[in-house]
């Protein structure tokens, strides 16, 4: 995992620690998409699609949990 991704996960980890967070602010989504894109080498943007957002958030949550285990 890239150092930049690790740092972002470390700083914003409280967002991804549990599934209790239900409301995401635009700034939080922007950082979540940044983490996702850096790790997976993609260039996804937030289109407002709830399913797409949920998928990206869940992928980043899995990254966070993997990072915490290591």
Reduce the secondary structure of the chain to three states and give it as a string. CCHHHHHHHHHHHHHHCCCCCCCCCHHHHHHHHHHHHHHHCCCCCCCCCHHHHHHHHHHHHHHHHHHHHC
Q: Is 30 helix (H, G, I), strand (E, B) or coil?
A: helix
Percentage of the chain beyond pLDDT 90 is: 84
Percentage of the chain beyond pLDDT 70 is: 99
Confidence of residue 2 (pLDDT cuts 50, 70, 90): confident
Q: What is the pLDDT of residues 10-33, one digit of tens each?
A: 999 999 998 898 999 999 999 999
Structural domain boundaries in the chain: 3-69
Confidence of residue 70 (pLDDT cuts 50, 70, 90): low
């Amino acid at each position: 995992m890239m150092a930049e991704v690790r740092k972002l996960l470390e700083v914003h980890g409280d967002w991804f620690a549990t599934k209790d967070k239900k409301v995401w602010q635009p700034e939080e989504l922007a950082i979540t998409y940044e983490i996702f894109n850096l790790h997976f080498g993609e260039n996804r943007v937030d289109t407002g699609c709830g399913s797409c957002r949920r998928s990206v958030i869940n992928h980043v949550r899995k990254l966070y949990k993997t990072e915490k285990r290591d």
